[in-house]
Amino acid sequence: MFAVTGYTTWLTGKLETDPNNPPLAKLWSGWPLLLLRPKVDFDAPEWRGGFSYPFAERVLYYSGNDGDALLAASRLANVLLSCVFAGGLFWAARRRWGDVPALVALAAYAFSPNVLAHAARATNDLPAAAAITAAAICTGAFLEEGRRELAKLAVLLGRVAFLCKYSAVLILPLWCAAALGLAARRDQRAPQLALLVVAPYAAGVALLLLVLPAAAGGILSRLREVGGSAPPAFLFGLVRQGGFWLYGPAAALVKSTLPELALAGAAAWLLHRSRRLDAWLPALLGLAYLAELSLSAKQIGLRYALPLYPCLAWLAAPVAAELFKRGKSAAVLLAATLHASSALAQAPQFLPYFNEAAGGRMNGWRLLADSNVDWGQDLKRLGAFLRKDGEPEVILSYFGTASNEFYGIRAQHYASQQTVQRRRRNSDKPARELLVVSATHLQGVYPPAHRNPTWLARRLPIARVGASLFVYDVTVDAEAHALLADGYRAAGDPALAAREDLRAR
């Protein structure tokens, strides 16, 4: 969606499109489309009604455009941004700790599965994470070195992060807490932090709220999520409205590589012995995002705490430098190798990455749902699977926004998530009929209880497509069709309910 929203913002100058998200990351995702010039119908009812998600689907899949090419171009923008951040991370770590620790930090970032997953997505998660981590690093460097240009850069990066994602305002209380902590120790750096970083950033955010009124609504929307207004959360087999207190740490525990978990422990040990703020501030930032994710009721993915991973990568440099001093270079090399091999072993499917102790990507759906494992990414693979299987008729319960028709999949939908759906009724006597269900629906997270297909847990799928799609043969499964009929009736669709009743008989 960000690709299309950013593109239409470039064309129209309307920053208020999709008011729940600030404009900068959308503009960044949309600029490659200016080169491709896709067709856009501004007379479409979705545009006139202000429905950004359906309009984006229409532009990508129902307007004669090559949706794959548009998404690939938009995603390249974030890949480029991630490479720029990686270069800056290496330069800053090399300047502070030397060549080899900087290479370790670069490897920690470049082979982090969560970074790899979201650097290849046209969303605001990676741009915001990169900018806010860089702001924390610059702030720490300013406090250690006293160079005012670093303070100015920290403020600028903090504003960039806020213009990418409203949750980046979280750095303001972090800076305030750091200033108060320094003041309590009578540290002369406290007024410098308050005057040169906190005050300019707060003033900049206030000015942005005046210039961009939608920003206030976006921040209020995020606060309401913390108050409990959000979709159900899924954690380790349990579904709960309002979320789980330990969601953030639990998700990080199973979706981080084992060397990343070891790095977190080593960083805690190092920070216990050091008072350097250029290490402490990024560490506190990563922990703050984990805490914010656990306090929020909107627990739909570890991506909401994505700054944790670039912060961990930064901390890899001082940890490596300390271990080298102690003659543990072999341990550092082994950890870096295991970190890279763990990620690459599950390539190119980085989004559903789970570490070896959690069972790998094919078992992660039992532990987490939504964007942790299932973001609709396997629809193209499903098209290839069905063509190889002789193109049977399909009932599709899909958690995602891509168009199945765009990928050659003609399907009768059951509790799918697309906002633009082509209604289809399968034949009364198909030679072969498959039921394909997304992992998030299989766990019963989002469809109402009377519609979710959790009863499939009693059956074994005949195939898995990627990590997120489960395939069941229901050609002669009377019970499955009877249950589908009940779901269609509950959803107010008597025509498809009748079809499933007929199939059951």
Q: What is the mean pLDDT of residues 250-266?
A: 96
- Average pLDDT of span 20-45: 86
Per the structure block, which two tokens stand in for 12? 């129209």
Instruction: Pick 349 or 1 by higher pLDDT.
Output: 349
Note the pLDDT of residue 218.
66
Give the up-direction half-sphere exposure of residue 417: CA atoms within 13 A in the CB hemisphere.
21
Which residue(s) pair with 397 in the sheet? 437
Angle of CA points 51, 53, 57, to nearest 5°: 115
The chain-wide mean pLDDT, for the chain, equals: 89
Question: What pLDDT shows up at residue 454?
Answer: 80
Residue 324 has pLDDT above 70, yes or no: yes
Measured distance CA(230)–CA(304) in Å, rounded: 14
Q: Are 212 and 15 in contact (CB under 8 A)?
A: yes
Beta bridge partners of 239: 234
What letter represents residue 2's amino acid?
Answer: F
What is the average per-residue pLDDT within 399-420? 85
Q: Which of 270, 456, 262, 440 is nearest to 367 (CA)?
A: 440
pLDDT over 90 (residue 43): no
Which of 154-163, 166-175, 363-372 shows the lowest per-residue confidence on average (mean pLDDT)?
A: 166-175
| Residue whose pair of structure tokens reads 């119908």 in the numeric block | 41
Quick one: pLDDT band at residue 198, thresholds 50, 70, 90? very high
Q: Mean pLDDT throughout 56-66?
A: 84
- Examine the pLDDT at 214 and tell me if it is beyond 70: no
pLDDT at 45 over 90: no
% of residues, the chain, pLDDT over 90: 57
pLDDT digits (tens, 9 = 90+) for 65-78: 888 899 999 999 99
Distance CA 370, CA 378 (A): 13
Contacts of 347 (CB under 8 A, 6+ apart): 116
Position 217 scores a pLDDT of: 67
Contact 58, 44 (CB under 8 A): yes
pLDDT of residue 116: 96
pLDDT value of position 225? 61
User: Higher-confidence residue: 167 or 434?
Assistant: 434
pLDDT at 119 exceeding the cut of 90: yes
Structure tokens at 254: 């199973």
Tokens of 121: 């997505």
Name the residue with tokens 């909107």. 298
Residue 262 pLDDT exceeds 90:
yes
The candidate with the shortest Cα–Cα distance to 114, out of 328, 337, 372, is 372
Task: State yes or no: pLDDT of 430 exceeds 80.
Answer: yes
Full DSSP string of 187-224: -THHHHHIIIIIHHHHHHHHHHHHH-THHHHHHHHHHH
